[in-house]
C-alpha cells in the first residue's frame, strides 16, 4: 500500500496493536547476527522491557549517559538522569541489544510502536553504541532492522529525535535517508532538538 491517507485512525491503530502484541516483533526478520567488515561478529536479541534483566537495563542508562550526556549538558535543557532512567523503564519499551563475542552488551536501540500526528510509526527513542564499537556498521544494521520491522507491520514511517548539537548523529541519520519531519519544531522556536523521519511507504 503506497497511500495511507484514506485509512481511518482505527485501521492504523490496528497495525500498531498487532505489532505491540507480538512477543518478538522481529521474529521473522534476519536480525539476530551481524558481522562487521573487520570480521567481528555480534549477536542480537529483541526483548520487551519486562524481559530485560536489571543488569542490562542499568547498562543501557550508563551507555546513554556516556554517549549523549555531554551533549545535553551543553544545552539549556541539561542532563536529567532521573528522566532518562524513567524513559528507559517504560513498560512499553522494546530493546534490540547487540553483544560481542564475549557476550558483553555493546549496543542497543530502544523503540516502540505508536501513533504520531495521525501516522502509525515505529519510534526509535534511543540508539546507543559503545564508543569502541562505533563506525563498524553495527548502528546502520540495527536501524535497517527497525525499518524492516516497520515495513513488516505495515507502519508508515520510522521516527526519532536528535539533539541539534550532536552533529555525528545528525550526519549518521541523514546518510541513512532520514529527513526533518513535518512535526519537527519550527526553527523560530529555538528548540534544542529536531525530529527526523523516514517513510516506509512505497
pLDDT band at 2 (very low <50, low <70, confident <90, very high): very low
Query: Is 149:26 a contact under the CB 8 Å cutoff?
Result: yes
Mark residue 196 as left, alpha or beta (left: phi above 0; alpha: psi -120 to 50; beta: remaining).
Answer: beta
Question: How do residues 30-50 score in pLDDT, each as one tens digit?
Answer: 999 999 999 999 999 999 999
- The domain spans of the chain are 9-199
Looking at residue 120, its pLDDT comes to: 96
Looking at residue 6, its pLDDT comes to: 64
> If you average pLDDT over every residue of the chain, what do you get?
94
The rounded distance, in Å, linking the Cα atoms of 191 and 188 is: 8
Question: How do residues 174-193 score in pLDDT, each as one tens digit?
Answer: 999 999 999 999 877 789 99
Looking at residue 105, its pLDDT comes to: 98
Q: Three cell numbers at 185?
A: 519544531
Is the pLDDT confidence value at 118 over 80? Answer: yes
Question: How do residues 122-174 score in pLDDT, each as one tens digit?
Answer: 999 999 999 999 999 999 999 999 999 999 999 999 999 999 999 999 999 99
Looking at residue 1, its pLDDT comes to: 41
Question: How do residues 53-90 score in pLDDT, each as one tens digit?
Answer: 999 999 999 999 999 999 999 998 899 999 999 999 99
| CATH superfamily membership of 9-199 | Gcn5-related N-acetyltransferase (GNAT) (3.40.630.30)
The rounded distance, in Å, linking the Cα atoms of 4 and 119 is: 8
On whether the pTM is more than 0.85, the answer is yes
Looking at residue 5, its pLDDT comes to: 61
Query: In angstroms, how far is CA 30 from the centroid of its own chain?
Result: 18
Residues forming beta bridges with residue 180, ordered by sequence position: 196
The rounded distance, in Å, linking the Cα atoms of 100 and 106 is: 7
Amino acid at each position: 500500500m503506497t497511500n495511507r491517507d484514506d485509512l481511518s485512525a482505527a485501521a492504523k491503530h490496528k497495525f500498531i496493536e498487532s505489532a505491540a502484541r507480538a512477543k518478538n516483533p522481529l521474529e521473522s526478520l534476519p536480525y539476530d547476527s551481524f558481522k562487521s567488515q573487520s570480521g567481528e561478529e555480534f549477536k542480537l536479541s529483541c526483548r520487551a522491557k519486562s524481559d530485560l534483566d536489571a543488569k542490562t537495563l542499568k547498562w543501557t542508562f550508563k551507555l546513554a549517559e556516556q554517549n549523549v550526556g555531554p551533549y545535553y549538558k551543553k544545552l539549556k535543557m541539561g542532563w536529567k538522569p532521573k528522566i532518562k532512567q524513567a524513559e528507559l523503564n517504560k513498560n512499553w519499551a522494546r530493546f534490540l541489544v547487540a553483544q560481542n563475542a564475549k557476550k558483553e552488551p555493546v549496543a542497543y536501540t530502544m523503540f516502540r510502536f505508536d501513533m504520531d500526528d495521525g501516522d502509525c510509526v515505529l519510534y526509535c527513542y534511543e540508539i546507543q553504541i559503545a564508543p569502541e564499537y562505533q563506525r563498524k556498521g553495527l548502528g546502520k544494521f540495527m536501524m535497517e532492522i527497525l525499518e524492516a520491522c516497520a515495513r513488516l507491520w505495515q507502519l508508515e514511517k520510522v521516527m526519532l529525535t536528535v539533539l541539534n548539537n550532536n552533529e555525528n548523529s545528525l550526519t549518521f541519520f541523514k546518510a541513512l535517508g532520514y529527513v526533518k519531519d513535518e512535526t519537527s519544531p519550527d526553527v523560530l522556536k529555538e528548540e534544542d532538538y529536531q525530529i527526523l523521519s523516514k517513510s516506509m511507504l512505497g
